[in-house]
Structure 1
């Protein structure tokens, strides 16, 4: 791939570019992500010790008791830490997601299937539409929850590199769609919709035991949001990020990455048969979903189904819980078929070697994941996260702001909490019992509160190293630019975060101001018709 010449020293740098350069320099001087999470864990321990004796008046909504900080340096806490260390590591959900998906992706990449498929796709995709197409696919990946992190983001770099563009720009664009627009849905509801709605409903029933929240209560808003995300990703990538990256040389190991060379006859045959195999597998899978008694469906008595959720789309549905396994299989099958037809695989040993190579590339992430898991376990177990959420909610209530400012305040508070707690469902499980009843008392419907949460939950995820997948994205960047670090990724994503914060908030306020329905069975005021 030819690189653009570095910007001459005499070329003036604008204020925005200097700010991003500063963010990159400072961020890259931070410790290695593994060491950073170790230091943060020690900080949480110290804070838990300092605050463990403080009598807080804030009430834990889950227990109804005053919040008490657990001293993680107490003898029983330290012995529990030692006894549970490996359990905490093994229970770290992103680790299993990443490694399982990468086994199948590793085979598809090693045999050449992904290479050939991308070259074919790029040959028919106008270069000018590559960015919005990538962001749209990234937003659509939300149907598979976290699959986009291990599937779409690395492919974003590969696709841009194969098209002769800077690969880090492709990673940034895909990261914007997958994580920055995590709450957007491109027409198709994701499993996050019924999951969040179930928390909203339970929280609202603290005040109104008869409250029912439709799982698609934000569907119109999140679908509209997807077009905003695509526009933001397109503009920021092409006009801000990629021009800035022209000064960054690609010096990583790219010898095995796709090029734009025409497909050979063997590659075309392999791609044809591999694609047919994947389509056949998808068709058989789709047929297995159709029967009412399909084991892929959630049982009829599942609370989310009783509330009106689709038994195939609720979080408890076996099909939703099998997304990672499906990714593994649906890339393994065409990868193997392509390899045998194209001649890149001779025996089953070549398939096992491809999986081994894929796991070797994940070694660094496994190390980081160990320290992330220990930090999160300590932070959640200490009670510090609950204290932060409750105190923030109390401050919002005490300010007595106009409704539009209250909505903004909720978004901002969620965005701040999001810097420390990455899981969307875990955050809402914590915040919903606080914010939903509070906003209901202020005349705001649970549907609007949930929509505001979803905006705040997405806009800062892409700039915090504490997000569990953030170190993995750094690893993807280092494949192309060896010196890439936390600062490199944070500086790339900061313009997206700012644009998302301003424009997505404005979109929600426009929905509220114009009375556009947020979703099915949703309203703005509480009780219904109020507000």
Structure 2
């Protein structure tokens, strides 16, 4: 009884803490409005600081750094004249929309759904947990498909196997959301999105060479792929050894008639899946064959390498993602009968685009904010002052990386959008750390660790209420506190162990990704 009382007290404290975070988070404006407000702050700050003299030297000119007044008539008219160009040339915009069209077709025709169900249905019971978590990580290629497909299926397959369904939800949620920045061999749409924002932030640096800096969309690929195995191990151990035993006394009181069943693949789905997967594999083989010759057009015209940033192969990552999901999506649709004509294929693309309306609005304001921030020179001033302060403090690089991870994890409790957070944090962090010789690739990797680890414990995450509803199908009394208590061990473990994993990569100089580095050459 005393243990139950202690658990109840702990749960009450956790609920109070989360309620406070929720109240604070709800008072923040929408990210799109937040960018607009920050842009106004940049304008006012540039006006206030434009007449001041600073001791910091701008390495681009060799003179004392100067803040440009964005409220001057010429600056305001230039801002208005370039507004459209600033928006359409915003790096993350095009790459995300193009990738989403291909993924949208694969999701609309049912290829992704059938593939996930097929993998889960043939999994041995002893490997149920790790495979479920791995599939959750794999679902990132379809952006939000994991939340609406893998997590409820996790409960179904655990329930069908005689295990507690909430443990299945916890394991799937840990893979889909906690491991959001991990990638299971196949790059996700998050990779080009964050790389585009990192590139935009890096070009705010005072270093003249940064204006030509190109961030590869796969700059964290090796780290995020290796991270999948870490996420699977953490989730596997916690689910089987801690979470499920803790749920033994939690009664399943959902209405049996309402409990979902995991439908087996129908013959037409199996046939479609076989042909679609064959088409995807064949596409990959043809790409490899065309890229292997020394004279391949996929290679860099500068040095003949496939992984160089100037290589058409590296510049085509987003297009390749589009094609690699469009082809099997189309094949599956025609073979399985879920898309009988080309209009259905276009409908799948349109449906994917219809869900991107909010992102487009947010991207517009984000692009204008980043443009204003860069034109003001405030970023260069903050970066140089911040770098000087960090140099004076002489923090070990490991401590700096840990600070980035934990700061990102904390902000994630209040701001749900991964891209919105990185656009805000990266605009200051990336150029500041470049002044200290830290590459944008490493800064981005540290951000991704912190951002993913706390996804599963914040009620402000858009899909969090949906996960509570999934739980309530099996345990009617499930609330926010229940889900937080369920996921808190995953979050803490990921935050600590994943940070150590990143530090290990850095200490051993293991490549982060394609075309990535740990250091940035500091001028002078």
TM-score, with structure 1 as normaliser = 0.66
Residues 463 and 494, structure 1, Cα contact 8 Å, conserved in 2: no
Residues 19-418 of structure 1: pairs in structure 2 closer than 5 A: 19-125=17-123, 126-130=127-131, 132-134=133-135, 137=138, 151=142, 154-155=145-146, 157-164=148-155, 170=172, 173-179=175-181, 227-231=229-233, 260-301=262-303, 311-400=305-394, 405=396, 407-409=398-400, 411-412=402-403
Give how far 1:364 is off.
2.0
The answer for the alignment partner of 1:253 in structure 2 is none
Give how far 1:295 is off.
1.0
The answer for the alignment partner of 2:257 in structure 1 is none
Residues 173 and 233, structure 1, Cα contact 8 Å, conserved in 2: yes
Structure 1, 227-236 or 369-378: larger mean CA deviation: 227-236
Unpaired stretches in structure 1, ≥5 consecutive residues = 1-9, 139-147, 207-215, 247-257, 306-310, 437-445, 526-531
Residues 296 and 312, structure 1, Cα contact 8 Å, conserved in 2: yes
1:415-455, CA deviations, whole angstroms, 9 ceiling, x for partnerless residues?
7699775499987873465212xxxxxxxxx8xx8897466
Report the aligned-residue RMSD: 5.0
Structure 1, 163-172 or 70-79: larger mean CA deviation: 163-172
Distance of 1:223 and 1:344 partners within structure 2: 32
Distance of 1:372 and 1:345 partners within structure 2: 37
Structure 1 residues 226 and 67: alpha-carbon distance in aligned structure 2, compared to 1, 3 A threshold: farther
Residues 58 and 65, structure 2, Cα contact 8 Å, conserved in 1: yes
Residues 157 and 169, structure 1, Cα contact 8 Å, conserved in 2: no
Structure 1 residues 120 and 357: alpha-carbon distance in aligned structure 2, compared to 1, 3 A threshold: same
Partner SS for 2:58: coil
State the aligned residue count.
Answer: 437
Residues 175 and 462, structure 1, Cα contact 8 Å, conserved in 2: yes
Give how far 1:354 is off.
1.7
Distance of 1:40 and 1:320 partners within structure 2: 34
1:38-58, CA deviations, whole angstroms, 9 ceiling, x for partnerless residues?
222222222222222221212
Distance of 2:131 and 2:290 partners within structure 1: 34
Distance of 2:47 and 2:332 partners within structure 1: 57
1:80-123, CA deviations, whole angstroms, 9 ceiling, x for partnerless residues?
11111111111122221221112112211221211211111111
The answer for the alignment partner of 2:435 in structure 1 is 434
Distance of 2:502 and 2:510 partners within structure 1: 9
Give how far 1:176 is off.
4.1
Distance of 2:73 and 2:22 partners within structure 1: 40
1:364-415, CA deviations, whole angstroms, 9 ceiling, x for partnerless residues?
22222211211222223222222222222211222346xxx45414653687
Partner SS for 1:316: coil
Distance of 1:74 and 1:236 partners within structure 2: 58
Partner SS for 1:105: helix
Give how far 1:21 is off.
3.7
Give how far 1:132 is off.
3.9
Structure 1, 316-325 or 62-71: larger mean CA deviation: 62-71
TM-score, with structure 2 as normaliser = 0.67
Structure 1, 160-169 or 19-28: larger mean CA deviation: 160-169
Structure 1 residues 493 and 12: alpha-carbon distance in aligned structure 2, compared to 1, 3 A threshold: closer
Give how far 1:292 is off.
0.9
Distance of 1:463 and 1:383 partners within structure 2: 33
Residues 58 and 67, structure 1, Cα contact 8 Å, conserved in 2: yes
Structure 1, 327-336 or 26-35: larger mean CA deviation: 26-35
Residues 113 and 338, structure 1, Cα contact 8 Å, conserved in 2: yes
Distance of 2:394 and 2:36 partners within structure 1: 40
Distance of 1:70 and 1:237 partners within structure 2: 54
Structure 1 residues 284 and 517: alpha-carbon distance in aligned structure 2, compared to 1, 3 A threshold: closer
Partner SS for 1:116: helix
Give how far 1:268 is off.
1.2
The answer for the alignment partner of 1:144 in structure 2 is none
